[in-house]
Each structure stands twice: as structure tokens, then as C-alpha cells.
Homo-oligomer: A and B are copies of this chain.
Amino acid sequence: MNRPQRKNNPDAVRARLIECAARLIVDDGLSALTLENVAREAAVSKGGLLHHYHGKNALIDGLFEEVVDWFDSQVENALEPEETAPARFSKAYLRVVAAIDMSVPEERRLAVLMLMLSSDPHYCARWNQWVEARLQRHAKTDLSPFARTLRLAADGLWLSDLGGGPDSSPSARREILAFLEDIDATGAMLANSPHEGGQ
């Protein structure tokens, strides 16, 4: 995968740049995401950064795609085998979000996504594209109110995680998950309503 014949392989530098950008955003807020800060954190000069990413937008775009791809693969892995399971996609969605441990740097990436989503309409639109594409693929299972509610709760959890809200503690999180599973078990009102997508 990597090319150890190079002393400093540029892929690693790129990855480090993305990683540091993510860390900066999560820990110090969006305003801390400056080229200089990222470069310093990644132990690279600003010129070096701009060699890999032609401008700040390119860096952010790279970060965005990185995170979305990561989340996408995570959800894909969390999907149940039965393809007709109700709320199959939304459950996986929730599971991935709920499993995030903010103390693990790798998993803070999602917080980055949240930040970017709420700060820039452009990324918001791109995210919505992803969600709607997935929703379309799982239209048979994930348009029910229950599925929607699951995703909404996941988003709330996600947001709560970001700020360390009172519902992000492990115990509170466990309770919520258990509650949602109980509802699922009762099996009430899981019928897919024929609600047209989009707004």
C-alpha cells in the first residue's frame, strides 16, 4: 500500500495534513483552521502544504471526501445481512454514530463532518446528496417514520458528541440505544409509509 522506498512518502504527508486539519477543527474550532496552523501541526511548511493542496478549499474538500468515504464504509460494514430488514440502513447509520469514541483520534473525523455541514451550505448540499442517494438505494426499508427517527436521533447523538453534551455520556447513550431497540422489538408502526422523498 505505501511505498517505503521513499524516505518521506508524500501520501503519508497528505494523510497527516488531513489528520491535523481535522484535529484542529474539532479541538480548537473552525477559526483555527488556517494554512499556517495545519502546516505547523503536520510539521510541514506552508509551501509544502500548498504543494499538495492547491489552496484552502482543496484541503477542505479533501478532508470532506475523506470523512464521508470513511463514514460510508463504516455504515456499509454495519449493515445487517438481511436486505429486507426494516430500517436496515438507518440502524446501521445509528450504530456507527453510537459506536464513535471521541477519545480515539480516528473517530473524531465525524465531528469534523458535523462542523463542516453546519458551517457551509455547499458541504451541506453534498452531504444531503449522499444521504438521499443512500435513502434511494434503501427506499424499501428506510422511509418509515421509525427509520427517519432513528437517523434523527443519530444526528442528535452526533451533535451531542461534538460538544460533550449531557446525552453523550456512555451510560446515557446505552440507555438511548436500548430504548430505541425496545421500540424496534415491539414492532409497532413500522409500516413503510409511501411518502415521496425530497422536499
Interface of A with B (CB < 8 Å)? Answer: 27-31, 114-115, 117-121, 124-125, 127-128, 131-132, 135, 145-146, 148-149, 151-157, 159-160, 162-169, 171-172, 175-176, 178-180, 182-183, 186, 188-189, 193, 195-199
Contacts and interface: CB of A to CB of B under 8 A. Distances in A.
Contact of A166 (B162, B168, B179, B199): B199
Residue from A149, A151, A155 with most neighbouring chain B CB atoms (10 Å): A149
A152 B151 contact: no
8 contacts: A117-B118, A118-B119, A125-B164, A131-B166, A135-B166, A145-B178, A148-B175, A152-B167
A121 B102 CA distance: 14
A132 B163 CA distance: 13
Contacts of A162: 118, 124
Given A172-B195, A182-B188, 9 more contacts: A27-B121, A30-B118, A30-B120, A127-B163, A128-B165, A154-B156, A166-B199, A182-B189, A183-B188
A125 B135 CA distance: 34
A14 B183 CA distance: 48
Query: Is chain A's interface secondary structure helix, strand, loop, or mixed overall?
Result: helix
B166 A160 contact: no
Given A119-B119, A166-B128, A176 B156 contact: no
Contacts of A119: 29-31, 115, 118-119
Contact of A164 (B29, B124, B135, B154): B124
A199 B152 CA distance: 22
